[in-house]
Every structure is written in structure tokens, then in C-alpha cells.
Amino acid sequence: MSFEEAELLRSRAESFLRNARRLIEEGEADIAIFSLEQYCQLILKYKLLVYTGSYPRTHSLRQLIRELGRVDPRILVLVNDVKNLHYVARLEEAYISSRYLPYKYTIEEVKDIGRFILEVFKPIVDSI
């Protein structure tokens, strides 16, 4: 692992989060939710890279969270608490459905998922 590679993942993750916020303001729900998922995926991979030197080549947020749980079990609340798992699963679904399936997200549901990320997901991940 290089410092540059880790910082690139962190920087891209933060860019996806900023982009999601902008897209939500513009009413672009489908691309906003994809950007939220990308933020989560990349920030988890960043943390894994920093603490373990690598990360699995997967798009599964649940798998990434469980891997990071080996480093810090506090993050497992994101998959062990049913309410949190609901949001994580919705984000996983968004990785595919926002790009390929004929499903339209509403701006309200994307705002709700965004609130989960900012109020629950991000503080937990940032504490690791």
C-alpha cells in the first residue's frame, strides 16, 4: 500500500459525497444515490487499506463492513442492527439499480439515505 493510493481513495470518496449533496439539491436522485454508494464503498476501502494494507475487490458494502469489523468491531453495528442494515442494503442495491435497472429513486428516499450516511455511517467510519 502506498500513501498516495490510500489518499486517492479517500479523496475520491469525499468527492462522491460532495457530488451527491449537489445532485440532491439539483433533484437528480438516481445519480445522487449512486454517488452516495460510491462514497461508502471507497471510504470503507480506504479504511481497510490504511489498517490492513489491502481491501477485497468487491462492491458489497456488507462484506467491506464485515472485513473492517475485524479491525474495529464497532463498525459491525452497521450490519448487526436491522435498521442500519436496511440502509446498507439499499445502498448496495443502488450500485446496480441506479445504473442499469428501470427503477427511479425519489429525491425524498435519497435524502433519507443521505441523512443516514451523514448521521450514522460517516461518524462510525470516521471514528475508526
Domains parsed from the chain with CATH numbers: 3-126 (1.20.120.330)
Could you read off the pLDDT of 80-125 as tens digits, one per residue?
999 999 999 999 999 888 777 778 999 999 999 999 999 999 999 9
Give CA–CA dist 50/55, Å, rounded. 9
- Which grid cell is 55? 481491501
**For residue 27, what pLDDT band results from cuts at 50, 70 and 90?**
very high
**CA–CA separation, 64 vs 72, rounded Å?**
12
Q: What distance in Å separates the CA atoms of residue 39 and residue 60, rounded to the nearest whole number?
A: 13
Q: Which residue's C-alpha cell is 467491506?
A: 64
> Which residue in this structure is represented by grid cell 487499506?
49
Strand, helix or coil for residue 104: coil
Neighbours of 10 (CB within 10 A): 17
Residue 41: pLDDT band (50, 70, 90) is very high
Burial class (CB in 10 A: 0-12, 13-18, 19+), 44: buried
Burial of residue 27, with CB atoms counted within 10 A of its CB: 0-12 exposed, 13-18 middle, 19 or more buried: exposed
- The structure's pTM equals 0.94
Q: What span, in angstroms and rounded, lies between the C-alpha atoms of 69 and 56? A: 13
